[in-house]
Amino acid sequence: MSAESPLPESPLPESPLRESQARPPALRNDLERGLAAPICLTWELTYACNLACRHCLSSSGRRDPGELSPLEARGVVDELAAMQVFYVNIGGGEPMLRPDFFDLLAYSVDHGVGVKFSTNGTRLTRARAEQLGAMEYVDVQVSIDGATAEVNDAVRGHGSFAAATAAMGHLAESGFGRFKVSVVMTRHNVAQLDALAGLADRYGAQLRLTRLRPSGRGADTWDELHPSAAQQRDLYRWLLDRPDVLTGDSFFHLSALGEPLEGLNLCGAGRVVCLIDPVGDVYACPFVIHPDFLAGNVRAPGGFTEVWRESSLFAELREPQSAGACASCGSYDACRGGCMAAKFFTGLPLAGPDPECVFGHGEAALAATTPSAVPRPGADHSKGARGVTPVRLPSPTRRPVHA
Amino acid sequence: MTVAAPGTTGFDPQRSWALHPQVALRPEEFGALAYHYGNRRLVFLKSQALVDLVTALGEFDSVRAALQALIEPTEHRRYEAALARLATSEVIHVR
């Protein structure tokens, strides 16, 4: 049974030698100084995607001709195994569009690197679901962004809800076990929280909610899609009541509202998490595909290991960070100033409030930014012009890809 | 005398315990990161002494004997409680 017990969602479930608090600050300090290897690594296998979601973090669409070859990808797995990275979060693009996807999956789990992968479900047939169910250490996460086709398809494209729910049906019927349904919270689906939980339940799946970031194509749609301040508070209360709902430590900015949410409640970028993109570029986290956060490339002589251990960017991120304008706020210890990527792509200083600061400090800071000075996301692989987002669904054949 | 912490019933320090065969330990500056391939839990071992204790546990006839040999007497209670939690996460198991 491959997915009865989920891969650890949050990198900080337990510490046996603890003091009275549930989250000892000493451990957080250790984590902020960085680990010998990431514990939550995202690996985007391809920029190719048959959807064109309006908030895509990686601006995916076209396959990059410089994508890691199957041999190079196996080399990355070898390194992760040697570094004892116990599991990896695979995404894209749509990772199932990579011709060697299942080979790589098998190679990875055979080498002790468990895989959780995210998919839009368009390629997840009944046969594929059965194949996945027979594998150990594989977990699947199907993305939807609404409990109804209307709300979902407005963001992910016409027909995408039907495709995702069909895949969920295949997983449920094939006996795969408990998979995950992953939802990016937007202004249009916060009201559907209960319905989303019900939907996941009907398929025997676990619900996972993540935060919308102004990254990738999300930079252009964040203003329109990000939840309102009132919705953020609703979401916080909803999550507090449901510790079984996974969040990938996504909403730690909301912990400033009082009781901390489950998870690390800190920015793990370059410290405990990072991103390997389809061409082997290593970024501090999945939400900062931009030259300022590029630490190196796995094709360089020292490989991923050297990037993780020696990059000057990561060394900098592991230094104590300044609270900046947040220093005088009594809640800084709860939210740690929020998400670096959210600040960066809305033009806010990294030492200062998150744009969605629960006390409204972010909105005030946003009003003072100069739009022309806001950084643009890097590595755009969108098929159409930004904001047009054509949707082709599903595309049955792909052009051949280089070895 | 040791009082069992809540949720640790079933942990008998008189018995012989060992690192679970499905658990991998990754050295870290603060100690180690333990990953259980069976239940897929990540656990932080927050001191080198705890890592050494867990690693060598299987060589002793009981948890008490391991504590006697490896841990300062004033710390026995704390480390026994830590082992009880590790038993709950199945990082260690009865031999």
The closest alpha carbon to A345, from A227, A219, A211, belongs to: A219
The string of pLDDT tens digits covering residues A154-209 is 999 999 999 999 999 999 999 899 999 999 999 999 999 999 999 999 999 999 99
SS3 content of chain A, % helix, strand, coil (to 5): 35, 10, 50
Smallest CA–CA separation between B51 and chain A, in Å?
A: 11
Spell out the domain ranges in chain B. Answer: 19-94
Cα(A399)–Cα(A297) distance, integer angstroms: 26
What ipTM does this complex have? 0.85
Edge-to-edge order in the sheet of strand B42-45: B23-28, B31-36, B42-45
Distance, in Å, from the CA atom of A231 to the CA atom of A187, rounded to the nearest integer, reads: 7
Q: Which of B30, B40, B86 sits opposite A16 (nearest CB)?
A: B86
Q: Judge whether A263 and A10 are in contact, CB under 8 Å.
A: yes
Give A214's contacts (C-beta < 8 A, 6+ positions apart).
Answer: A222, A226, A341, A342, A345, A346, A355
Please report residues of B whose CB lies closer than 8 A to that of A13. 41-43
Q: A385-403 b/e with 16+ CB inside 10 Å = b? A: eeeebebebeeeeeeebee
* Chain B positions in Cβ-Cβ contact with residue A305 (cut-off 8 Å): none
Please indicate whether, in this complex, the C-beta atoms of B30 and A27 are within 8 angstroms of each other: yes
Evaluate if residue B44 carries a pLDDT over 70. yes
How many CB atoms sit inside 10 A of residue A328's CB?
Answer: 7
Partner-chain contact B40 A7, CB within 8 Å: yes
> In this complex, is the C-beta atom of B7 within 8 Å of any C-beta atom belonging to chain A?
no
Best of A2, A17, A30, A111 to mutate (most B CBs within 10 Å, chain B): A17
B29 shares contact with chain A (CB less than 8 Å): yes
Find, in chain B, the residue whose alpha carbon is nearest to that of A137.
B37
Of A96, A97, A115, A95, the C-alpha closest to A105 is A115
CB contact under 8 A, A14 and B46: no
Write out the two tokens for A138. Answer: 């594989």
> CA A257, CA A250: separation in Å to the nearest integer?
15
pLDDT, chain B, mean: 89
- In tens digits, what is the pLDDT along chain A, a chain of 403 residues? 232 223 344 334 455 554 434 445 677 788 888 999 998 899 999 999 999 999 999 999 999 999 999 999 999 999 999 999 999 999 999 999 999 999 999 999 999 999 999 999 999 999 999 999 999 899 999 999 999 999 999 999 999 999 999 999 999 999 899 999 999 999 999 999 999 999 999 999 999 999 999 999 999 999 999 999 999 999 999 999 998 999 988 999 999 999 988 877 788 999 999 999 999 999 999 999 999 999 999 999 999 999 999 999 999 999 988 999 999 999 998 999 999 999 999 999 999 999 999 999 999 899 988 888 899 988 899 997 654 444 444 444 444 445 4
From chain A, pick out residues whose CB is under 8 angstroms from the CB of B7: none
Closest-CA residue of B relative to A115 is B40
Query: Would you call B63 an interface residue with chain A, using a CB distance cutoff of 8 Å?
Result: no
The 10s digit of each residue's pLDDT in A329-367 is: 999 989 999 999 999 999 999 999 999 999 999 998 999
